[in-house]
């Protein structure tokens, strides 16, 4: 084989190899972020306190404490007022329970804004999570499109190779392959 033929064969090999190679996919997006870490990093001390209180006040334990306190307070004062034979002294006489209402209202006034701040912080956490989910969905869509392009390219290479190897396919088989290539998923 002459030098010119060898050079021509090498050129032909390079050309064939370059056709067979599909450009590699480069990730053009930042890495996935953790929503919990992002949320934790943006919280102030007041937000942390509000979240702590919101999580405690929104628990069954807190409900049980308030329920027990109410039953104890009201029960003691009703019994002390209505049954003199017990010789208990009522500190918040029945039926008004003025001290109980005052304390309850002060607790509510103090807790309400803190609970709202805590709920706002929880809402921001949900928004961060939603935004990161959306970014992941976009990244996945891009990567799926690249995978589909690779599959289509490989199918075309396979058909081209079959043609060169003179593999005979019926018209129906070729139509089926063409339909599968062009059909959306």
- Give the tens place of pLDDT for each residue, 136-185: 898 889 889 888 888 888 888 887 787 777 666 677 777 777 777 777 65
pLDDT of residue 54: 86
Measure CA 101 to chain center: 42
- pLDDT (tens digit per residue) in 158-171: 877 877 776 666 77
pLDDT of residue 184: 67
Q: What's the confidence (pLDDT) of residue 21? A: 63
CA distance 76 to 91: 9
Find, among 146, 160, 151, the residue nearest to 180 by Cα: 151
Number of C-alpha atoms within 13 angstroms, CB side, residue 20? 8
Sequence spans of domains, the chain: 34-182
pLDDT at 106: 95
Task: Provide the residue count of the chain.
Answer: 185
**Half-sphere exposure at residue 117, Cβ-oriented, CA atoms within 13 angstroms:** 16
Intervals of the chain under pLDDT 50: none
Calpha distance 167→173 (Å, rounded): 12
pLDDT for 25 equals: 58
pTM beyond 0.75: no
In this prediction, residue 98 carries a pLDDT of 93
User: Could you give the CA distance from residue 121 to residue 107 in angstroms, rounded to a whole number?
Assistant: 21
């Amino acid at each position: 084989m002459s030098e010119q033929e060898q050079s021509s064969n090498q050129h032909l090999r390079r050309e064939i190899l370059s056709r067979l190679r599909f450009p590699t996919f480069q990730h053009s997006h930042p890495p996935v972020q953790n929503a919990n870490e992002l949320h934790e990093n943006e919280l102030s001390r007041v937000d942390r306190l509000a979240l702590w209180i919101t999580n405690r006040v929104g628990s069954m334990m807190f409900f049980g404490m308030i329920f027990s306190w109410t039953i104890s307070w009201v029960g003691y004062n009703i019994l002390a007022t209505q049954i003199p034979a017990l010789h208990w002294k009522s500190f918040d006489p029945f039926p008004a329970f003025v001290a109980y209402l005052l304390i309850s209202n002060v607790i509510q006034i103090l807790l309400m804004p803190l609970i709202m701040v805590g709920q706002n912080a929880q809402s921001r956490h949900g928004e961060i999570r939603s935004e990161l989910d959306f970014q992941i969905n976009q990244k996945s869509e891009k990567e799926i499109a690249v995978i589909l392009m690779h599959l289509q390219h490989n199918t075309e290479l396979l058909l081209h190779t079959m043609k060169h190897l003179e593999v005979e396919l019926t018209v129906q088989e070729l139509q089926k392959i063409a339909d599968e290539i062009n059909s959306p998923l």
